[in-house]
Structure formats: structure tokens, C-alpha cells
Amino acid sequence: MENPLKIGIAGVGTVGASLVNVLNNKQNALANRCGRRIDVAAFSARSRDKDRGCDLTGAEFFDDPVKLAQSGIDVFVELIGGEDGAALESVRAALKSGKHVVTANKALLARHGVELAALAEENGLILNFEAAVAGGIPIIKTMREALSANDITRVYGILNGTCNYMLTRMENEGISFEDCLADAQRLGYAEADPTFDIGGFDTAHKLAILTSIAFGSQIAADEIYVEGISNITNADIEAAHELGYRIKLLGVCQKTASGIEQRVHPTMVPLESEIAQIGGVTNAVALEADIVGELVLSGPGAGGMATASAVAGDICDIAKSRPGRQIAPALGRPAAELEPYRKARMRTHEGGYFIRFTVRDKTGVFASIATRMAEHDISLDSIVQHAPARPVEDGEAKTIILITDETTESAVRAAIEAIEGDGHLIARPQMIRIEL
């Protein structure tokens, strides 16, 4: 058997400790599968002596992750987090020092992925990052390796467990967004500052990586339309269910005639669809390709063990690699051959829309709204008064819900602007895209 593969772990928090336990507990099995033993030779953390619930006996401690990256290890595992700072500096140092890299850091890759992929290629090194997108779901390997013969046209999915958990509970229990968020924070599913999750930015980082691999384009995290779930109400969820839909926060990327479209937003999906069945903190990724057709992968999207599983898998791939064999590009094709990102205009997006208006209950409002839609060539699949009129300060209000046939976003936004100008609305309208 070959010499052990010596790994250094930077960041021994929940994921890092889980990884150490996996590697220690399965050392013999992994050695048999990989043809060599995998040893945790060193680690870096804020404190040397903290009890982390894992055995690091014999592992050398570094207080500086850059020094760890430059030490005598074979593989540098970055679990620090963040798009810059110590994470970026240490990964760069590892690649420049001839160390393979495994990272779970989506923010780092969304911002610097092309640069780091090029650096790995220049030095003949492996850069693996399965855990950066959808936790334990092997979507990166599936797209980068198993589907090499396919041309992918569309990728979409539930990429954030916090948002999926909240939308599931709001539907099942009828609790408000605010109460659900407080519970999610208490249970550890949401951070003290939940903006990154509920604002859609976590999903956007993951989507940017998937887009690059799917379409062979440069990573363009700043070119994503992002809309979170904070404006979703129980009324929206109830109305969606009555109409045969469920609301999910989706990340979607697809090729269009005008370029590549990347968007993150609440979406109404048919109740009978596979993606609608994914509840709680579970993630799911669906893709459409010319040979395989549609493929859906689902599983745990976060958590110590799920993420550690993906990191361990990446380490095992490196352990199985042998000198002289060609190394696959980190982003599916050489970094220098990634095409410049060409952004599709968001307002050319076509699909159906759910639109909820709260209006003054008076004669002619219904007809006025329908007329504005017709003026913008929007065909309506259904138009209903969702609830009885209720008292407001200057009269009564009622809710009108529209479901449009396929149309463009620019047309929908123009029609809504015209309706707002007519003075019938007493609250901001709600618009949710429908994906079939």
C-alpha cells in the first residue's frame, strides 16, 4: 500500500470535527477503497486545546492556516468560510505550494473560483468542492463527470435548507413568517442575522457555481437576479395551495436566446411535481439535458455529517489519483476556455405568474385590472376574488388573484405599474413566478 495521504484541516468547527470523526472511524475501510491510508496530519483553529468532540491526537497544530497550507501535508482542507481573508489566502498558498485543495466554501468559489481553478491547473493540482453546493448531494461530480456527454440546458433547485424549512412550516402549520424565523433561529436552522439565507444570497452563490459547470461560462455571482422569501405571506401560501401550487425558493439557471439567465426567487411549482415534495431542510437539484433528459437529486443540504460526507468523498478522489494521470479541470473545462458570461435580460423571462392585488372594493376595479392586462397582451388563466371584502380605513378592501398564461416579465411589470397608477390598490401587489 502506498504512503498515507496527509491532510491538513483549516477550521475544526461542526463540519471539521465531523470530518475528523468520519476519517478516524472509517480509516480501514477508506484505506481499502482508496489504496492508501488517509491521515489527519495537521489542523488549524482559533484554539489548540478546545474540546471539539473529535480525536486530533498526533496532529500538528498551526495557529496560522497559511502556514498549515505551506507545511508538509498533501491535501489542504479549507473549512474556514468567507470569500476573502484567511480562507482565500490559505487556499492560494496551498495551491502555490503544490498541495491539492478541498473546500466547502461557496462564497470563496463564487468570488474567486475561476482564479483558483486556473491556479490549480497551472500547478497540476486537484481543486475539489462538492460540499460547497447542496451539502451531501453529489451534484458537482454528477454534472462535471457523469454527464460529460450531455449538453445541459437548465438547472434549478432548492439550495437553501433554512428557506425550505420555513416555507414548509408556514404551509403545514399556518404560522407567520416572523414566528417561523424565530423558531428556525432557536433550533439552529437560521443564523442570528438570517439575511444571507432568507435574502436568497446563499442560494445565489451556489447557483453561480452550478451555472459555470453547466454552461462552461465564467462564474458571475454578481449577475444573478436575487429575491428572498421575506415578503411571502400565509395568504400567498394558502392561495397557492388552493390553486394547485406550492411556494419554494428556487435557484434557476438556463440558456436563452439572449444569453444565460440566473435567478433566485420564490416560485410556485405544481403540487404534483417532484420539487414540490421536498420539505423541511432537505435540498434538491434538478437538471435538464439532451441525452439523460430530466434528473432530480435530493438529500441533506447542510449539517456536519452531510457536509463531511461530501468533503470526505473529495479527499478520497485525491487519494485514488495517481501521478502522471491527467487531472480534470475544477470547473469542468480549463479555466482559460471558460466563455465570458453573457447575461440574459431578466425582463425577457417567459412563464406564468401569480399576482395578488389588495384593492378597494368598488365597481369597475375587476374590469380595470383585466383591461390593463389585456393592454399588455397578457392572457389570464384565472382571475378570482380570493376572500370576502373586509373593512379598511376608507371603505372596504378585497383580494384579487390572477394567474397568467405564459408571458414576459417585462409585460407583467408594466401592467402592474399601470394598475398601481389607476389608484385602486391599498397595498403593494405580490408577484410570484410559476415554474412548470
Whether 152 and 294 map to the same domain: the answer is yes
Domain annotation covers residue 341 = no
Domain endpoint, select from 325, 359, 394: 325
The one-character DSSP state at 48 is S
**In sequence order, what are the residues at sequence separation of 6 or more whose Cβ sits closer than 8 angstroms to the Cβ of residue 103?**
77, 78, 79, 87, 91, 109, 127, 128, 129, 131, 132
Domain annotation covers residue 199 = yes
CA distances from 5 to 23, 33, 61, 90 (A): 12, 13, 18, 19
Whether 13 and 123 map to the same domain: the answer is yes
Give yes or no for a contact between 133 and 113, defined as CB atoms under 8 angstroms apart: no
Using alpha carbons, select from 254, 151, 174 the residue that is nearest to residue 207: 254
Give 356-413 pLDDT, tens digit per residue. 998 888 888 888 998 999 999 999 888 776 555 565 556 678 888 999 999 988 899 9
Whether 230 and 354 map to the same domain: the answer is no
- 296 versus 191: the higher-pLDDT residue is 296
Distance of CA 379 to the CA centre of its chain: 32
CA distance linking residue 400 with residue 385, whole number of Å: 5
Question: How much of the chain, in percent, has pLDDT values that exceed 90?
Answer: 76
Average pLDDT for residues 73-99, to the nearest whole number?
A: 97
CA distance linking residue 241 with residue 400, whole number of Å: 16
Domain CATH code at residue 417: 3.30.70.260
Give 253-277 pLDDT, tens digit per residue. 999 888 999 999 999 999 999 999 9
CA distance linking residue 368 with residue 364, whole number of Å: 6
Domain annotation covers residue 337 = no
Domain CATH code at residue 259: 3.30.360.10
Domain annotation covers residue 334 = no
Give 25-55 pLDDT, tens digit per residue. 999 999 999 999 999 999 999 888 888 899 9
Domain containing residue 190: 140-300
Pairing of strands 75-78, 100-103: parallel
What band does 418 get if pLDDT is binned at 50, 70 and 90? very high
Here the cell at position 67 is 502556514
Q: What is the mean pLDDT of the chain?
A: 92
Whether 311 and 296 map to the same domain: the answer is no
Pairing of strands 430-434, 350-360: antiparallel
Query: Rounded to the nearest 5 degrees, what angle is found at the Cα of 309, between the Cα atoms of 3 and 187?
Result: 145
Domain count of the chain? 3
Whether 184 and 78 map to the same domain: the answer is no
Residue identified by cell 401560501 is: 237
Using alpha carbons, select from 223, 8, 209 the residue that is nearest to residue 105: 209
CA distance linking residue 341 with residue 71, whole number of Å: 37
Is there a catalytic annotation at residue 206?
A: yes
CA distance linking residue 242 with residue 234, whole number of Å: 12
Domain annotation covers residue 332 = no
Give 223-259 pLDDT, tens digit per residue. 999 999 999 999 899 989 988 999 999 999 999 888 9
Whether 245 and 108 map to the same domain: the answer is no
Give yes or no for a contact between 225 and 125, defined as CB atoms under 8 angstroms apart: no
Whether 366 and 288 map to the same domain: the answer is no
3-class SS at 22?
helix
Domain CATH code at residue 9: 3.40.50.720
- Looking at residue 393, what is its pLDDT? 59
Whether 147 and 288 map to the same domain: the answer is yes
CA distance linking residue 298 with residue 358, whole number of Å: 37
Whether 10 and 130 map to the same domain: the answer is yes
Domain annotation covers residue 68 = yes
Does this model's pTM top 0.95? My answer is no
1 pLDDT above the threshold of 80: no
Domain annotation covers residue 183 = yes
Give 157-187 pLDDT, tens digit per residue. 999 999 999 999 999 999 999 999 998 888 8
Whether 270 and 310 map to the same domain: the answer is no
CA distance linking residue 55 with residue 39, whole number of Å: 12
Domain endpoint, select from 265, 300, 335: 300
CA distance linking residue 339 with residue 423, whole number of Å: 47
68 pLDDT above the threshold of 60: yes
CA distance linking residue 165 with residue 169, whole number of Å: 6
192 pLDDT above the threshold of 80: yes
- Rounded CA Rg of the chain: 24
Here the cell at position 325 is 494521470
Active-site residue, selected from the candidate residues 6, 99, 106, 206: 206
Whether 94 and 113 map to the same domain: the answer is yes
Average pLDDT for residues 151-162, to the nearest whole number?
A: 96
What band does 303 get if pLDDT is binned at 50, 70 and 90? confident
Give yes or no for a contact between 229 and 166, defined as CB atoms under 8 angstroms apart: yes
Whether 289 and 308 map to the same domain: the answer is no
Give 314-365 pLDDT, tens digit per residue. 999 999 998 767 788 999 999 999 999 999 875 556 789 999 998 888 888 8
Here the cell at position 382 is 384565472
Domain annotation covers residue 156 = yes
